[in-house]
Amino acid sequence: MNTIFRKSMVSVAGLAFAGGVFAGPIAAHANPVDAKPVAVAVQSAAPKPQGDQSHITLNDEQTANVKAIIAATKKAGLPERAAVISIATSLQESKLENLGHLGDANDHDSLGLFQQRPTSGWGTPEQITDPAYSTTAFLKGLRQVDGWQDMALTDAAQTVQVSAYPDAYAQWEQQATDLVGQHWNS
């Protein structure tokens, strides 16, 4: 038993030494000025949009709602990916319009940017039609999804929304990504 343990330790030490021998010269010649920030590496690892992409031209109200979603995401301490998922979801659900009751055209009692339902526990009609509140409610649901950061956007959104059209969110990923890129630091 001790012999096996000793051989294992020698093997691990040998691998560590070999890694240092090969990586050491590379690291020694690396230029720290050329190093990329970790955030860049994380952003480039984001999944690519799935399928055909849709795009709409936004009016001032829709742009204000984009900014409200981003502000709520930042306030919640979540990364840009959460804002992308939120905006894509809102694009699908309401085209970023804060919808009130639509009469016969209404889907049950769905309201607001995310078409959340008071009868499903999302909040009161007044709360759901407040962009900051509705975004915070959506993000609360998103946080409860294990691994949402690495999921396809449509899977993360669908897990929160439970839509009759689960794949529909994917078509808005590129526009949502562009909007977050445009407004995140503004």
pLDDT at site 83 = 98
pTM equals 0.72
Residues 88, 169 contacting (CB under 8 angstroms)? yes
Q: What is the 3-state secondary structure (H, E, C) of the chain?
A: CHHHHHHHHHHHHHHHHHHHHHHHHHHHCCCHHHCCCHHHHHHHCCCCCCCCCCCCCCCHHHHHHHHHHHHHHHHCCCCHHHHHHHHHHHHHHHCCCCECCCHHHCCCCCEECCCECHHHCCCCHHHHCCHHHHHHHHHHHHHCCCCHHHCCHHHHHHHHHCCCCCCHHHHHHHHHHHHHHHHCCC
Pairwise CA distance, residues 65 & 133, whole Å: 12
- pLDDT, tens digit, 9 for 90 and up, residues 155-183: 999 999 998 888 999 999 999 999 999 99
- Could you give phi then psi for residue 102, rounded to 5 degrees? -105, 15
Nearest to 125 by CA among 106, 104, 141: 106
pLDDT at site 9 = 43
- pLDDT, tens digit, 9 for 90 and up, residues 69-92: 999 999 999 999 999 999 999 999
CB-count exposure of residue 6 (10 Å: 0-12, 13-18, 19+): exposed
